[in-house]
Structures are given as structure tokens and as C-alpha cells.
Structure 1
Amino acid sequence: MPQHGRSGLWARPLQLCGPSGADIPNVPNKRTGSVCIGTKIAPIFFNTMEDAGALPIEADAADLAMGDVIDIYPYKGEIKRHGTDEIITTFQLKTEVLLDEVQAGGRIPLIIGRGLTGRARESLKLPPGDFFRMPHSETRKPKGWSLAQKMVGRACGVEGVLPGSYCEPKMTTVGSQDTTGPMTRDELKDLACLGFSADLVMQSFCHTAAYPKPIDVVTHHTLPDFIRDRGGVSLRPGDGIIHSWLNRMLLPDTVGTGGDSHTRFPIGISFPAGSGLVAFAAATGVMPLDMPESVLVRFSGQMQPGVTLRDLVHSIPHKAIEMGLLTVEKKGKKNVFSGRILEIEGFPLMKCEQAFELSDASAERSSAGCTIALGQEPIIEYLKSNVVMLKWMISEGYGDVRSMKRRIANMEAWLEKPTLLKADAEAEYHTTIEIDLNKITEPILCAPNDPDDARTLSSVTGQKIDEVFIGSCMTNIGHFRAAGKLLDTHDGQLPTKLWVAPPTKMDEAKLIEEGFYGIYGKVGARTELPGCSLCMGNQARVADNSTVVSTSTRNFPNRLGRGANVYLASAELAAVAAITGKLPTKDEYLQYSKIIAKDADKTYTYLNFNEVGAFSVL
């Protein structure tokens, strides 16, 4: 393509991307002019391209191939074979404002420039200009509001926000992690940010702490002070996963964002973003948002013996496939969740740690965000614990102290008068999916190598397993206890290679105290530093071409290892696979699950820091 003097494009049926664009004169490390064409573009990537001044286009890319030369007509919504009238595919821009964003070099420069222009014209007593394409705002009165619409509405100072409306909700909590953190730092410098406007900004070091490269070590030494100097909270390498910490700093019914696609709050709502938008949200305290539609998933009935919460996570794509709302085949891909908010009901008493397992996996649905309708009781329990954790962090020398004290005060104020938003009965959803728990009688896995390819255990029984990974933000301490109790029944070394990586250093310490690390060692497991470990795939990896059972977030090709075939499953099923060296039958699995069921109440308890020794005295 370069020989034609045009941007090169490469294609797959699902997504087609242009190159990194052209250098911007006199601006180092910044480029412009990129194009991305995809049948579906996940929200976090769509947002990132908007911020970078690229032109993201959602269109059927099945007939586009490597080396094609094409002509794009943004105003007509057509893509033609170059130099001909052959229309390869058609499209409609998500919003006409995209055209202004491309001209401005990105969404953030457009927002800033549009605001400065408006204030300058007002100062000069000139009427508002009509040269910007303005975002759309719905004005009709709905029959009722969904929970997400109310949360975003409160963050905008209104009752609710309708799908399709542009808004700029207040960012109460913002998260940044270490692979995108240096880029976020650069963006903050570009914004001349000397202090954060978002109420709480937190930086983690979970993706690179275990096996840092020299450049990572530099980041570990320099980024904490940069964040703290601007009023943010910085974790330390080895502390653990961003989400497991950030979730404990949340306020109910508030809105936030984070530089990781799994920033999916179990209380409140978050819209994950790229480094540029995270910097903008942290610096200004608001975030541009075109309010998405919602898909309601309502659970009913009772969980059956041996069925875990991870199985319910996978029941969502499984049910959507049954209903024809989701397809595994990439050509003509259907995904009702893509770009929409996933709203989940049916578990009012679910613990917040458990709720995150559901909200976290909304990333694999390509959802824009997620809400979980929880009752007051589990949130009160969670916040009481989290207040103590934040006080402990202050006593341990974490900073910024002002930010943590402010968050503690806000948590305590909510605990004095706890109230929660609720969806209206008349709220309208794009689609409603009903899932009967009584009909889920065996584990549901996601088969290699697609998190949409949900299958029952019976359909994949007998597959030989080489390696097993128990870890990632999809896990909590209960999973490691359950796995440990199953592993304790096994004599000698496992027939598989087992990786164990708890999400936080507090989980690790508690598991050591309770003797589970002794069990892991006895069976030959490889225990990793608390953090992302294999899930990210950027450091330690499974063996080439191995078959793996993993509790990680996603099983994209080559993510955990080159040529690896990865099944996503619960920690309980993963432990059984580690012991047996294969995917068990349904009956074999249910026999093992009885071991956990004997004292499940003790196994699945969570870290309430107000009840834990060294923390509870604070």
C-alpha cells in the first residue's frame, strides 16, 4: 500500500485496521491518519481510536483482504474497490461528530477546542458558532429508567440519560495500570495536569511486577511519585491486580473509568477507556460518553449442586447462542451485547466480590459497561471492610493520604444513610434475556479459543489437559480455598502443570496462614506473585501448543501461549482437571464438588478487613 501513497490496511473477517498513521510534524510519538474497519469494534478500542484521531468504522469486513486498495467515502457510507464503482460494503458512522474528531486530531482536542471556542465567543459577546457538529441528545421522556441510566444521570446532575444521548458524567473513580500507565502519564503531561479533578485516581503495577523488564523497573520507580504528586493513590509492585484493589475504593451508584477493559465496577458503573481518555477523566473529572443501550439479563431459580458462579458467567453467552442473539462464527457475527450495557438482576444478596465475577466478564461480551442490582446488605458489609483497608493503607505509608481520607469520609457518610438507586419496572431495554438457574445442572466452559464459544462440560468431556491456571481478576480467595481442598485429596505430583496466582497480597497472606500454600507446594504447583500472571500473556507463558484449563478472563488465540488451546472454566473445575489430567465427566466432577460442599460456608468467605487481625485494630 505505501507504494500507492495511501494508508495501508490489513484485514480479517472480524476487524480491519490501518497502520499507525503518519507522523505529526514537531510532535514526538504522536501519529494521525489511521483508519479501522471492523464488523464489531469493542467499546474500549473504539474509544481509543476516537481519542487518537483515527476513523473507526463498523462495517462488514468479510470481503476485505490483505493488500486491497480501497476508497472510503465517509459521507456516503461506502467502501469501494479503488478506481471502480464496485461497492465492497456500506456503513453508517456511529456519530457524525467522528468527522470533527478526525479533523481535530482526536476527541479530546475537539472537546477542549470546542469548549475554548465557546467561551471565547461568549467573552466577545458573539453568538454560539454553528461550525461544529454537535453531539446528539435525546429529549423524549421514557416510561422508566434502567439502573445504568439512573447512575449516569446522577453523575450528570439529572434523573437519567437516554440511550443515544451525549453526556459528560462526573468521574468519581479512575484506575490506571502499568502497561498503559506510562502512556497515561504522557497524556497527562500534554494536558498540563498538575492535580487530578477526579475524586480518586489509582495506579497499579499488576501486569509487569512478576517479571519486569528494565523499562518496567523504571516505570515502577518513577510512576508512583508522578501519580501521588497529582493527588492520586499509587499501589506498589507485588500488591496485586488493579481491579481487586480499585473495587474496594468504590462508592455505590457512582461512575468511573479505567485503562483496562476489565474495569467493570461491581457497585456503580464504569466505562473502560484507553490511556488518553483515562488521562482526560483523571485531569478534568468528567468523561465524554454517548450513552449506550442496555441488555437486561435476569436470573431466577436456585443454583444447583456443583454449579459455580463462573458457570453462571458462561451461561450468559450460552443462553444468547440458544436465542440466536450471539454467534461464534466470525462471518456475519451477531453479538447483542456488543457496545451495549449489560444489566444483571436476580442476585440481591450476592457478595460484592462475587458480583465482580459477573461484571468483569462483561468485557468478554464486548459490552460498554455493566451494572449488578445488589441490595444494601452486601454493599454495607463491603464498605465497612473497605474503610478499614484504606485506613490500613494510610498507616502503611501509601499516598496520596488526602485522597484516601476523602474517600473514607465519603464511604462513612454513605454508611450513615445507605440508599441505592433501583431500575424502574417500566424501564426499556434493547433485549431481555431470562436465565433459569434450575436448568443449569453442570459446568459451562468456553472452548478454545473464543470466550463466546460456551459449551456444557458433557460436550467436551475427556479432553486431555496439559496445564492449568488458577488466577486473574476473575478469582477471589474462595476459589483458592476450594481448589486447595480438592488438591489436598491428591497424593503425589499432579499429571499437569499447575499455576496459582492470587489476585492480591492480602489473599496470598491469608492463604499462607490457612495452610493452602503448603497444599499447593505438595502437589508441585507453581505459585506466582499476586497479579495478572498468565492472564495477560505478556510475561510467563504456557508451553507451546498445550491444552489448558484456565480461570483467566479470555482465551483469545496465542494469548496464554503460542498455539495454546485454552478452556475457560471455574477454579473448581480447573482443580479437578489438574488432578485428573483431563476434562472430567459430569458425574466425576459432581463427586469432587461434594468435597467442597461439606463446608462451603467456610470456603467461600471473603476478606472483611474489619474482622481480620492486623487490620481490625485500625
Structure 2
Amino acid sequence: LIVDEDGDAILKQLYSVDTGTVLTINTKEKKLYNGDKELMDISSAYTPQKMEFMKAGGSYAIVFGKKLQTFAANTLGVPVLKVFAPSQEISHKGQGLTAVEKIFNKNAVGTSGATLHAGSYVRVEVNIVGSQDTTGLMTSQELEMMAAKVISPIVDGGYQSGCHTASVWDDKSKENIPRLMKFMNDFGLITARHPDHKYKPMTDVIHKVLNDLTVDDWAIIIGGDSHTRMSKGVAFGADSGTVALALATGEASMPIPESVKVTFKGEMKPHMDFRDVVHATQSQMLKKFGGENVFQSRIIEVHIGTLLADQAFTFTDWTAEMKAKASICISEPETLIQSLEIAK
């Protein structure tokens, strides 16, 4: 941190990359160059998986190759041979599991069978997938590049939203969105707008709809929106390519994140809204850790068990603002049943 004589921070430009600057990656030396000047060593980025992608000319061949191999091995009842680069597996003998670790272990595909902990990079089966309307066209293009024709049969549900363009229904939206909705409807998703206008447009935000579609506490949800947070299961925002692969294969590859556990004590006063609890959580966390946001890039887990879906969604939706990777609100069976009744 650079400060002036009064102790105030000074913004100083240490380097810049101007438009038109040509940077060179030397794949043999695994270094980044600007002309003849070496900028940095990037060897740590050359993981076995990325090297495999480079040799295959892209990730699609590897993703579908793994999918086909696993399917064939399971169908024939034979072991899966180790022909692909192994994923990083971290397992601590005798150590318990966080909620997200339990969910990932349950949904993991193609692992060694060891109990996996945070830091492991794994393939997992995905239950619910949501495509956002501003990135949906890119998702549809990537599905076409894969020659994918229909949503994976192992996906419980898929949704194509129309919430972002609904508020700005300009000429560009009128041109693109009907085309997107037809493609996704034909692909097998529930679409916010029916291609043949069989129902009125649904303008609910994507994560709210995905929240209503999710009924399983063990579900993994992928959504093309940074606010993809659910009151059930664990949900992750994703780019258009990850959404496309999830729709086509029913799988996603990602590291198991670390977790931070949040607990509540006492009873909420009648005059309070759950949003007040959310703000108090943020305030207490920042106070306890000296202003450091310990939620960033981690999973926030709430184990109280009695939060109804609307309260849990309020909390999990806020975790996106705190830059958390995702959030989990564990529900007791009675609470989950009550939430599902309310959502009818």
C-alpha cells in the first residue's frame, strides 16, 4: 500500500496494458513476454488438465470423452481406465465434512472413491441449470458448436430466463430473444417466453425461478447469473460455456470451495424482517475480523435448519453481494416440506 505523508492511500499506476499491446505466451518456456521482455513465469497455470485441453485442441473433446468413457464403463460394468489427466483429489483421513463437501462427494463422477475435501477439483452431476437471457445467445451458440440437440437426461430441470431483457424490450431484444427462446424450448428447457405464445411472458428473475424449481437439499445448481443462489442445495453462477456444458452433459467441473459456518441465536422480534438479520450478519462479521471479508470466495453455510425458503433465499441471495462462492441453508425435513407447500 502506497501512502502520502498524511497516511492516506495513493493510487499509483505501476504498469498498464494499452490497447493494441501484443503479449506473447511461450508455451515451451511457460513464460509471458512483452516483446523480448519477460513479464512473469506462468508455469503454475499449466495444470495437467489444461495441458490436456491444449493437446486436444479445446476442452469439448475432453469433456465429452470423459462423459462417454464413464457412461460406457458403467453400462458394461467395468472399471474406468485412467486415460485422462487425473483431477486433483485432496482427502484428509479422519476429518469430517462440511455441507458442501458432502454434496460434492454425493454428486462426484469419475473419482478414485476417496472422501474428498476442499481444494479437490472434481466432476459433479448437476441437477438444475439456468440460462440467462443476456448470455443465452452465447450459450446457444456453444451448444450448436457441440452439435448438442437436447438437454441431458440426467438434468432434473432447465430454465431459460427473460428477466433482463424484459425491462429493456428494445429492437435488439425483439430480434434476438424470440430466436433464443425457440432454440432453448426446442432443446428441452422451460422458457420465459413460449415461441408460439402459448403462455404470457414470465419476467421473474432467473435465480427466483431456479429457486422454485429446486426441491432437493442435495442438488447442485448452475446458473448463468452471478446471483445464482438457492434456498436448497448449493448453487453457482457460471459463464455461458459452463452453462452450455451443464445442459449438454449434465455435469460441471469445479473445485470444492472452503466453507464458513454462520449460526444464529435467539428469536427474531416481530417487528423485524429477515433482511435485518442479513445486515446484522454482515456487520458482525466485519467487526469480528477487523473489516476483512472472510466470506469472499468461500461457501457460507447456515445450519439452523428452520429457515423457510423465502428467508433462506433472502440470505443466500445476499451472499452474492458479499462475493461468496455460494451459500447453503440446511433445512430440517419439516421445514423443507413447509417451504414446498408455500411454493405451490
Asked whether the two chains share a fold, i.e. TM above 0.5, the reply is yes
Structure 1 residue 365, shift from structure 2 partner: 2.5
Q: Point out the structure with max Rg over C-alpha.
A: 1
- Separation in structure 1 between the aligned mates of residue 46 and residue 100 of structure 2, nearest angstrom: 21
Answer yes or no: is 1:271 the counterpart of 2:233: no
Answer yes or no: is 1:183 the counterpart of 2:138: yes
2:330 aligns with 373
1:249 aligns with 213
Cα 1:212/1:86, change in 2 over 3 Å: closer
For the 8 Å contact 2:89–2:116, the answer to whether it is kept is no
- Separation in structure 2 between the aligned mates of residue 241 and residue 368 of structure 1, nearest angstrom: 20
Query: Structure 2 stretches of 5 or more lacking a match?
Result: 3-11, 73-80, 194-200
Cα 1:259/1:313, change in 2 over 3 Å: same
- 1:28-57 deviations in Å (ceiling 9; x for gaps): xxxxxxxxxxxxxxxxxxxxxxxxxxxxxx
1:342 aligns with 300
Cα 1:325/1:133, change in 2 over 3 Å: farther
- Separation in structure 2 between the aligned mates of residue 299 and residue 71 of structure 1, nearest angstrom: 52
Amino acid in the other structure paired with 1:111:
V
Structure 1 residue 209, shift from structure 2 partner: 0.9
1:579 aligns with none
- 1:3-47 deviations in Å (ceiling 9; x for gaps): xxxxxxxxxx9xxxxxxxxxxxxxxxxxxxxxxxxxxxxxxxxxx
Answer yes or no: is 1:215 the counterpart of 2:172: yes
- Separation in structure 1 between the aligned mates of residue 291 and residue 52 of structure 2, nearest angstrom: 33
Query: Structure 1 stretches of 5 or more lacking a match?
Result: 1-12, 14-60, 121-126, 328-334, 387-608, 610-618
Amino acid in the other structure paired with 2:335:
P
- Separation in structure 2 between the aligned mates of residue 213 and residue 271 of structure 1, nearest angstrom: 30
For the 8 Å contact 2:214–2:232, the answer to whether it is kept is yes
| Aligned partner of residue 263 in structure 2, secondary structure | strand
- Separation in structure 2 between the aligned mates of residue 99 and residue 301 of structure 1, nearest angstrom: 52
Structure 1 residue 79, shift from structure 2 partner: 6.8
- 1:528-584 deviations in Å (ceiling 9; x for gaps): xxxxxxxxxxxxxxxxxxxxxxxxxxxxxxxxxxxxxxxxxxxxxxxxxxxxxxxxx
Relative to the length of structure 2, the TM-score reads 0.76
Cα 1:182/1:86, change in 2 over 3 Å: closer
Structure 1 residue 173, shift from structure 2 partner: 0.8
- Separation in structure 2 between the aligned mates of residue 357 and residue 367 of structure 1, nearest angstrom: 14
For the 8 Å contact 1:154–1:160, the answer to whether it is kept is no
For the 8 Å contact 2:91–2:116, the answer to whether it is kept is no
Structure 1 residue 113, shift from structure 2 partner: 5.1
| Aligned partner of residue 208 in structure 1, secondary structure | helix
Q: How many residues align?
A: 311
Cα 1:101/1:63, change in 2 over 3 Å: farther
For the 8 Å contact 1:203–1:224, the answer to whether it is kept is yes
For the 8 Å contact 1:71–1:81, the answer to whether it is kept is yes
Of 157, 160, 166, which residue of structure 2 is paired with 1:200?
157
Structure 1 residue 210, shift from structure 2 partner: 2.1
Aligned-residue CA RMSD in angstroms? 3.6
1:383 aligns with 340
Aligned residue runs from structure 1 range 399-418, under 5 A = none
For the 8 Å contact 1:263–1:271, the answer to whether it is kept is yes
For the 8 Å contact 2:91–2:115, the answer to whether it is kept is no
Cα 1:161/1:270, change in 2 over 3 Å: farther
Aligned residue runs from structure 1 range 3-402, under 5 A = 63-67=14-18, 83=36, 92-93=44-45, 95-101=47-53, 104=56, 106-112=58-64, 129=83, 133-156=85-108, 161-197=116-152, 198-236=155-193, 237-252=201-216, 253-303=218-268, 307-324=272-289, 327=292, 335-346=293-304, 348-386=305-343
Structure 1 residue 82, shift from structure 2 partner: 6.4
| Aligned partner of residue 221 in structure 2, secondary structure | strand
- Separation in structure 2 between the aligned mates of residue 247 and residue 189 of structure 1, nearest angstrom: 28
Amino acid in the other structure paired with 2:265:
S
For the 8 Å contact 2:31–2:38, the answer to whether it is kept is no
Structure 1 residue 84, shift from structure 2 partner: 5.2
Q: Percent identity?
A: 30
Structure 1 residue 83, shift from structure 2 partner: 4.5
Structure 1 residue 100, shift from structure 2 partner: 3.9
| Aligned partner of residue 287 in structure 1, secondary structure | strand
Structure 1 residue 136, shift from structure 2 partner: 0.8
- 1:245-271 deviations in Å (ceiling 9; x for gaps): 221111222112111111111101112
For the 8 Å contact 1:317–1:326, the answer to whether it is kept is no
- Separation in structure 1 between the aligned mates of residue 211 and residue 68 of structure 2, nearest angstrom: 35
Cα 1:187/1:212, change in 2 over 3 Å: same
Amino acid in the other structure paired with 1:364:
E
- Separation in structure 1 between the aligned mates of residue 270 and residue 70 of structure 2, nearest angstrom: 61
- 1:467-525 deviations in Å (ceiling 9; x for gaps): xxxxxxxxxxxxxxxxxxxxxxxxxxxxxxxxxxxxxxxxxxxxxxxxxxxxxxxxxxx
- Segment drifting more, 264-273 vs 73-82: 73-82
| Aligned partner of residue 212 in structure 1, secondary structure | coil
Structure 1 residue 114, shift from structure 2 partner: 5.9
Structure 1 residue 147, shift from structure 2 partner: 1.4
For the 8 Å contact 2:60–2:146, the answer to whether it is kept is no
Structure 1 residue 199, shift from structure 2 partner: 2.0
| Aligned partner of residue 300 in structure 1, secondary structure | coil
- Separation in structure 1 between the aligned mates of residue 206 and residue 339 of structure 2, nearest angstrom: 17
- Separation in structure 1 between the aligned mates of residue 326 and residue 56 of structure 2, nearest angstrom: 27
Relative to the length of structure 1, the TM-score reads 0.44
